[in-house]
Structures are given as structure tokens and as C-alpha cells.
Structure 1
């Protein structure tokens, strides 16, 4: 007879705790909520404008990309 789901879950959680882990709960936006996509677009536009206004960002990103290229060689 198969082990009930609740027992398997408890066994798995106990094993994770024994490995030094602990559970956490986080709350994230509900992507199904009305207006979610528009809010994502709004925030993306705000970030894009901030990036466009930050002239040092291009220099920083180019330097970071160059560092990545050096790590591969």
C-alpha cells in the first residue's frame, strides 16, 4: 500500500531539516491578477528611462562583459 502523501511530505521535510535547511515562506505577486501585465510594463519603462539616463552604466556593462570574456579564455 502506498505511503500517504502527508507522510511522504513530512519525511522529506524532516530530511531537509536534518541537512541543515529550514523552510521559508515568501509572497510573490499574483501574475493572474488584473493589471499585472500593465504594471510590469510600467516598471520596465521606468527602469529603461533610468538606464538611458545613466551614462556610466554602459561603461560598467562593457567592462563586465569584457571580464566575462576573459574568464572563458
Structure 2
């Protein structure tokens, strides 16, 4: 059994990934455990669901846009 330390395994993994053309990035995501997360998620979901009923924005975009194949 190989008893390679975690940091060595991670280092080797990162080396292999770089060799395959990948690079590491750090991503920050919302903390779903935070106070108020549920309420904010609900607010945003409701706003997205109602967006097509509250605005003429899409009609405006379609009116001033040319089809891609006609440019």
C-alpha cells in the first residue's frame, strides 16, 4: 500500500492536470447555511419567475435585433 502524504498526492494530481492543459482556480459560492439565504433565494426565484410578466424588455430586444444570419 502506498502511504503517500496527502500533500504529495495533491501535488502530483495538480502536476498531471497542468500537463493536460488545465489550471486551478478558486471559486467563491454563497453559503447556504447563512442567515437570510433562504429568503434571498426565494426572492430571486420569484423575481425570475415573474420577469416575463412584468417587463417589455424582451419585446424591445427582439424589435431592435437583427437575426444572426442577416448581418
> TM-score when scaled to structure 1?
0.68
SS of the residue corresponding to residue 28 of structure 1 reads: coil
Alignment partners' CA distance in 1, 2:5 and 2:27: 27
RMSD between aligned residues: 1.9
- Residue ranges of structure 2 left out of the alignment (5+ in a row): 59-71
Residue of structure 2 in register with 1:11 after alignment: 12
**Deviation, structure 1 residue 54:** 6.2
Partners of 2:31 and 2:16 lie apart in 1 by 31
Q: Deviations over 1:12-38 (max 9, x none)?
A: 000000000000111111011011011
Instruction: Give the helix-richer structure, 1 or 2.
Output: 1
1:47 aligned residue: 48
Shift of 1:10: 0.2
User: TM-score with structure 2 length normalisation?
Assistant: 0.70
Segments of 5+ residues of structure 1 without an aligned counterpart are 57-73
Relative contact order: is structure 1 or structure 2 higher (C-alpha 8 Å, sep ≥ 6)? 2
